[in-house]
Structure 1
Amino acid sequence: MLRAFFIWHDLIGRIWYDERIFILTTIHRKGGIMDQALFKQLAFVREVTLQLVQNVSEQEADVVPDGFNNNIRWNLGHIYLVQEVFAFARAGEIPKIPDGFVEWFNMGTKPADWEQAPPSLEELSGLLREQIKRIEETFMNRLQERSAQPMAIRTLNLETVEEFLTFSLYHEGTHTQVIKSIKRLIQHS
């Protein structure tokens, strides 16, 4: 949304405020206001996710309610795995994917198929918390870089680091809502 404001502002600004748009564009491209806004949003969304599972027990994290394929633990691991791919692998960086994560948490996997014990909630929470710090440290001043591996999702083309990170906000929000639903079902059963 903030990006849309700057695009709109850029169009209006070209007519009325040429110098001001140059300054805003310069700040945007050199790791200023826009970078900070995106990193703050990533941190905020991640904190919401982590607070949501703060009082979830290991047993509750493994409940797969009727109508669901996955549990809270799977959703947390999936958020982490996809963010590693979107943030790091797609940008040409080396992702930090622990052993077993692809088998446990990749799209199309489910806890019913797990053959080994997955990571604890404490491990997953630690990885998720640390991940946001690594993203900011790695990509500050690099959001406009072209991705090493662009990707299309339906009609949406993701071509820059910023576009992948922005899309990851939607992805994490979707899975956070699933976690909320599962948690609500567990608490009311």
Structure 2
Amino acid sequence: MKFNEDVLWNQLLDVRQFTLGVCGAINSEQVDVVPQGFNNSIRWNVGHIILDQDTWFHYLIEDEAEIPATYEKFFGFGTSPSTWTEEPPTWKELMELLKTQPEVLKLKFSGRLEEPLQRESELGMSTIGEIIPRTLYHEWYHLGYIQSIRRCIDANAQ
């Protein structure tokens, strides 16, 4: 499958700019609140977006991940703030990674989107380029949670 790299990278950057706009408008006092009916906080969702994208780009290839391995215990699948036994990365650190991650990945993976994975992954993905759309829909999914959590926090503050 031939990819138009510019289109895929522009989509990744566009989604991230939207996420940054939403998260940049959040009061830092709200990032650790877990409203009733939710399992996670805004901080957890942002960390999970970062971890997920890095994990998928490095899944089934030889390259080392860009995100610290400690992020898995804070933001990996099945974790939540209720499982944290030490201080998670700061909101400022997460916002900086959220901002820089797309360019870091673009620099590292430009020209490599046709590169095959070591084996086909779930959903039939077999190249690095096929990973990008998966990370985009995942980011939108968690961005919806971030917006819902913020609305609940705002509604409860009134």
| TM-score, normalized by the shorter chain, greater than 0.5 | yes
Q: What's the TM-score, normalizing by structure 2?
A: 0.92
* 2:88 aligned partner: 118
Residues of 2 paired with 1:129 and 1:89: CA distance?
22
Structure 1 window deviating more from structure 2 (92-101 vs 77-86): it is: 92-101
The two structures, once aligned, show a CA RMSD in angstroms of 1.6
User: CA-to-partner distance for each residue in 1:37-73, whole Å, 9 max, x for gaps?
Assistant: 0000000111111111112233200011111110100
* 1:12 aligned partner: none
**One-letter amino acid of the structure 2 residue matched with residue 171 of structure 1:** H
The structure with the largest alpha-carbon Rg is 1
Please say if residues 72 and 182 of structure 1, whose CA atoms lie closer than 8 Å, have aligned partners that are also in contact.
yes
Residues of 2 paired with 1:90 and 1:68: CA distance?
32
Residues of 2 paired with 1:160 and 1:87: CA distance?
10
Structure having greater relative contact order (Cα 8 Å, sep ≥ 6):
2
Point out where structure 2 has 5 or more consecutive residues left out of the alignment: none
User: CA-to-partner distance for each residue in 1:108-133, whole Å, 9 max, x for gaps?
Assistant: 00001111111122100111221101
- The 1:91–1:165 alpha-carbon spacing in structure 2 relative to 1, beyond 3 Å, is farther
User: CA-to-partner distance for each residue in 1:86-109, whole Å, 9 max, x for gaps?
Assistant: 112433211022252111000000
- Structure (1/2) with the larger strand percentage: 1
Point out where structure 1 has 5 or more consecutive residues left out of the alignment: 1-6, 8-24, 29-33
- Structure (1/2) with the larger helix percentage: 1
Identity %: 35
Give the length in aligned residue pairs: 156
* 1:105 aligned partner: 75
Aligned pair partner of 2:57 in 83, 87, 95: 87
Residues of 1 paired with 2:92 and 2:128: CA distance?
29
Residues of 1 paired with 2:93 and 2:49: CA distance?
14
Q: What's the TM-score, normalizing by structure 1?
A: 0.78
Aligned to 1:188, the other structure's residue is in SS state helix
After TM superposition, the runs of 4+ consecutive aligned structure 1 residues lying more than 3 A away are: none
CA positional deviation for 1:149: 4.7
* 2:98 aligned partner: 128
Aligned to 1:109, the other structure's residue is in SS state coil
* 1:176 aligned partner: 143
Residues of 1 paired with 2:13 and 2:133: CA distance?
12
**One-letter amino acid of the structure 2 residue matched with residue 86 of structure 1:** W
